[in-house]
Structure 1
Amino acid sequence: MKAIKREEAVRLCLEGERISPAERKRLAAERLRELVSYAREHSAYYKKAYREVGEDFRLSDLPPVTKKELMADYGAWVTDSGVTEEGVRAYISSDAALETLYLGRYTALTTSGTTGNPMPMVRDAYHNMIHGALLQTRLLREVDPELMNPVRHKIASIIILDPAVSSYSGFLKSQRANPGYEQNMLAIYLTEDIDVIVEKLNRFQPDLVTGYPSILAVLGKAGQEGRLHIHPQAIACSAEMLTEKVYHTLRAAFGCPVLNNYCSTEGGEAAMSCSEGKFHVNEDWVIIESVDKDGRPVPEGSWSEGVYMTDLTNYVQPVIRYYMADRVRIVKEACPCGSSLPIMEICGREAETVEIGGKVLFSSSFEQALEHVPGVLAVQMAQKGERRFYIRLVPSSEEEREKAAEEVKKRILGLFEGSGAGPVEVTVVPERPKSNRRGGKVKFLVKEPEERKG
């Protein structure tokens, strides 16, 4: 297993941005060969998958993989035989996850979503060191690099307070790692009433605010209206798509850098925002291939139907040409910020809000509540009117449909009632989730016109 010191990781990340695009491509190709060689030797899955791939291969020679394929052969996928799916899941759900490493050497987390089957991932020290250095040298370049250090700064995170969620588990681990400075960290449940969140932030006066763009947009509006009186050094977004409109709202409201990170549990920190609000691909450490619906490369500057993601840093659970249904467009134009890293535009999941009688609820709250419903593979929530909702779901089997539908409906009604936004009408309809006409990706929350009667 590879090892690296923090100073070396920082140096490599700084140098990687200074060199030419051609040099970065060669560097990434070298790292890919090293990763593939290791995967072939230590992963039974990749040994079999690459049995017909020669030593002098191109990236396109490597067969792509999917979540379903990897999960079906989890034990063969990992390069450490001590890592098991059951072991990782048990570790993540235990109190030990906040204080110790999995098997004494790995961090562990799961993917999120509404599939009901999050994928457990482990990351080795090499991955964590490189991706930490990417955050320090590229995402935080505009701000004090110690801004995420609770010993020196006050940090407020508006997130889902569930230890199984990586953002909150990371928050708790940071608290445990900095005893005596817990008062410098504030976690706010994003399902709380906006007025309550505003009050808490006004009292806390954070230097850094982190959260999902959907809730940060509402806070930006509160700042513009003069209700939120904070002066953060930076706003950091994650997990959802940050639109240009929300980006400029936050900049105008708080007058500070707005940081955004295109990352995933599987691929790590793939792209980061610059001072111009544009995403730059960390192509020296993460390879992103834009592909059409058949997995073929799309022309430069064209929108993809998905991407193949390759993380060049994870040697314990290699992610090589892993398919993700994110619609992106990569362009090679010059950026006013001065970085020569490729610019990537994203047309992924754009979070929505539900407004009922003056109450604002966030799509991420519903997604989290429905994440582990037994018997449910996918869910879509359609708002047909202010208080009328259709639920479309994909059950794991027709025999489970009725029971799963009742549980989904129960959880949704519970969220509405708990927030004081009820009463609402929730109907589970016998149809599949509908795809977005732009890109074909299914959005969790959609707003549709009321059906005309008669």
Structure 2
Amino acid sequence: MNPITKGKITFKIWRARRATRSQIDIQQQRRLENILSFVRRQSRFYKQHYADIPDEVTNLEAFPPVTKSVLMENFDDVVTDTAVTKAEIDEFVADEATIGTRFLDRYPVWVTSGTTGEPGIFVQDETALTILNVVPDRWTLPVLLGVEQFSRIVKNGARGAEIAVTGGHFAGASGVALMRRESTFYRNRIEMFSPMQPMSDLIDKLNRYQPAFLVGYSTVLVELAQAQRDGRLDLDPVFIAPTAEPISGPEKQELVRAFDCVVREIYGATEFFPIAVECEHGNLHANTDWVVLEPVDEEYQPVEFGEPSDTVLITNLANRIQPLVRYDLGDSITMYEERCPCGSAFPIIEVEGRQGDVLRFETNDGEEIPIFPLALSSVVEEVSGVHRAQIVRTAPATLQVRVEGTSDTTERDVWAQVEQNLHSFLRNQGISGVAIKAASKAPQRDTRSGKFRHVWSELER
């Protein structure tokens, strides 16, 4: 993308910051009509999927939803560049040496398992990447322009730290690596910190690094706030962004008190990162100028304002290489009709989000430490041949693992690697004596919520 085009997109993003609801809706509808017209011309999958729908129809509810599994099964027909194939993408993401590079020198590629438990591969184009980088700034940058904030940024060298799982083509790890590779400014100013390392190691590394900006899994940030209050951690960040997991209002206030800085939640997904960003009044605002959100029930019928959905359908209005139209994201959200006191016309949403418990174990030294759900599930999901998995703590020293393998692997080989990886991970945390048991049942959704939970405990709290 040339600088002029990128500049125009950036200008439109910032101009919409003070747009009226009517202006936002008009812009959304215009982009929606463009993307619908585009996919019907350029995507073989959508052309066939919408074959019975007249060309002049632009009402989204007339178009059938799609799921991650359907899009992955039809990957080569979904994408709009015939040079992009699932076989070559699979080779690309299997090679850790390509993390932070572009497929065909054009497209960032990110992998995810997500709340549905189905693995996914998502290709980004330049417009999608620009939206990812610029949209959050229109919410967060204005609060960082004060003298005190600027001095803290300078004091910490404008360094950023992201806490997320590393070692794969995940959006966080690969996105940071790409930024370091392509940006002279960020090359030495942004670092990844894995939540899979022992908490004491993470604290030591952050104390040495001293970030001005801290982004990461909500559960990890809450634990770091406790370490800051205890005196084990000594950071002076200017901004913290909890993401990837649910975080409550009281937990965000804990972060504010512990670090004395601006805290803004970001709700996003690999499929579309900046779905919503928190304002100064503590409300999440959906960026509906670039994404359409449809809160729906289990039959994909719309739910009323103020009612929690069974899932949410998203339509990405930016990405044209791998279009997502009425895509079942799997999260439960509540959308509100009321305006926010901050004055923004972007709609307020609440998110139930991804499901996972922080598990606490005693180390060999007698110290109780947290094991974070996204870190633990990643240990299993990274095993070759694992399609999806769930980890259940059934006793103080027992983890039961439900594994669904791919068709090209044997159950015995997959389980041996899962068991080995989990024991190795726990040993690295200083934990021994935990039994890893194979469950007789396959991974499944929660019978009450319908959500796919990755990690949870059955012990009484």
Same topology, TM > 0.5:
yes
Report the counterpart of residue 294 of structure 2 in structure 1. Answer: 289
Query: For residues 258-314 of structure 1, what are the alpha-carbon distances to aligned partners after superposition, in whole Å with 9 as ceiling and x for unaligned?
Result: 122221222332111112332111111100101101111111110100011100011
SS at match of 1:200: helix
Report the counterpart of residue 203 of structure 2 in structure 1. Answer: 198
Query: For residues 98-148 of structure 1, what are the alpha-carbon distances to aligned partners after superposition, in whole Å with 9 as ceiling and x for unaligned?
Result: 575322332222223498863222221122223322122124432259999
SS at match of 2:233: coil
Report the counterpart of residue 135 of structure 1 in structure 2. Answer: 136
Q: CA RMSD in A?
A: 3.0
Report the counterpart of residue 242 of structure 1 in structure 2. Answer: 247
Change (3 A) 1:116 1:85: farther
Report the counterpart of residue 110 of structure 1 in structure 2. Answer: 111
Question: What stretches of structure 1 of length at least 5 have no aligned partner?
Answer: none
User: Equivalents in 1 of 2:197, 2:108: separation in Å?
Assistant: 30
Query: For residues 63-100 of structure 1, what are the alpha-carbon distances to aligned partners after superposition, in whole Å with 9 as ceiling and x for unaligned?
Result: 11111211222111111111111222333444774575
Give the superposition deviation at 1:45.
Answer: 0.9
Q: 1:416 aligns with which of 426, 429, 433?
A: 426
SS at match of 1:142: helix
SS at match of 2:206: helix
User: Equivalents in 2 of 1:60, 1:220: separation in Å?
Assistant: 44
Report the counterpart of residue 177 of structure 1 in structure 2. Answer: 182
Q: How does 1:138-287 map to 2 (within 5 A)?
A: 138-144=139-145, 153-178=158-183, 183-287=188-292
What TM-score do the two structures reach when normalised by structure 2? Answer: 0.89
SS at match of 2:268: strand
SS at match of 1:23: helix
Equivalent AA in structure 2 for residue 48 of structure 1: Q
Query: For residues 9-60 of structure 1, what are the alpha-carbon distances to aligned partners after superposition, in whole Å with 9 as ceiling and x for unaligned?
Result: 2221223232222332222111111111111111111111122212332111
Q: How does 1:14-25 map to 2 (within 5 A)?
A: 14-25=14-25
SS at match of 1:421: coil
SS at match of 1:345: strand
Report the counterpart of residue 326 of structure 1 in structure 2. Answer: 331
Equivalent AA in structure 2 for residue 44 of structure 1: R
Aligned length: 450
Equivalent AA in structure 1 for residue 221 of structure 2: L
SS at match of 2:223: helix
Equivalent AA in structure 1 for residue 236 of structure 2: H
Report the counterpart of residue 397 of structure 2 in structure 1. Answer: 387
Q: 1:361 aligns with which of 371, 386, 392?
A: 371
**2:59 is aligned with 1:61:** no
Query: For residues 144-187 of structure 1, what are the alpha-carbon distances to aligned partners after superposition, in whole Å with 9 as ceiling and x for unaligned?
Result: 59999999511222222214222112222233335597554343
User: Equivalents in 1 of 2:258, 2:95: separation in Å?
Assistant: 40
User: Equivalents in 1 of 2:278, 2:271: separation in Å?
Assistant: 19
User: Equivalents in 1 of 2:458, 2:169: separation in Å?
Assistant: 32
SS at match of 1:319: coil
User: Equivalents in 2 of 1:148, 1:437: separation in Å?
Assistant: 47
Query: For residues 237-275 of structure 1, what are the alpha-carbon distances to aligned partners after superposition, in whole Å with 9 as ceiling and x for unaligned?
Result: 222222223211111111111122221222332111112
User: Equivalents in 2 of 1:292, 1:3: separation in Å?
Assistant: 42
User: Equivalents in 1 of 2:185, 2:271: separation in Å?
Assistant: 33
User: Equivalents in 2 of 1:430, 1:149: separation in Å?
Assistant: 55
User: Equivalents in 1 of 2:88, 2:170: separation in Å?
Assistant: 17
Give the conservation status (yes or no) of the 8 Å contact 1:326–1:348.
Answer: yes
What TM-score do the two structures reach when normalised by structure 1? Answer: 0.90
SS at match of 1:348: coil
User: Equivalents in 1 of 2:333, 2:62: separation in Å?
Assistant: 22
Report the counterpart of residue 34 of structure 2 in structure 1. Answer: 34
Identity of aligned residues (%): 28
Change (3 A) 1:83 1:8: same
Change (3 A) 1:149 1:182: farther
Report the counterpart of residue 314 of structure 1 in structure 2. Answer: 319
Query: For residues 397-438 of structure 1, what are the alpha-carbon distances to aligned partners after superposition, in whole Å with 9 as ceiling and x for unaligned?
Result: 799444433433332222112211111122222124464465
Change (3 A) 1:258 1:40: same
**2:357 is aligned with 1:352:** yes
The range that moved more, 41-50 or 131-140, is: 131-140
Question: What stretches of structure 2 of length at least 5 have no aligned partner?
Answer: 363-367
SS at match of 1:287: strand
Report the counterpart of residue 365 of structure 2 in structure 1. Answer: none
The range that moved more, 96-105 or 120-129, is: 96-105
Change (3 A) 1:96 1:229: closer
**2:48 is aligned with 1:48:** yes
User: Equivalents in 2 of 1:241, 1:4: separation in Å?
Assistant: 37
Report the counterpart of residue 428 of structure 1 in structure 2. Answer: 438
Equivalent AA in structure 2 for residue 43 of structure 1: S
Give the conservation status (yes or no) of the 8 Å contact 1:10–1:137.
Answer: no
User: Equivalents in 2 of 1:306, 1:334: separation in Å?
Assistant: 23
Give the conservation status (yes or no) of the 8 Å contact 2:203–2:232.
Answer: yes
Give the conservation status (yes or no) of the 8 Å contact 2:17–2:138.
Answer: no
The range that moved more, 310-319 or 343-352, is: 343-352
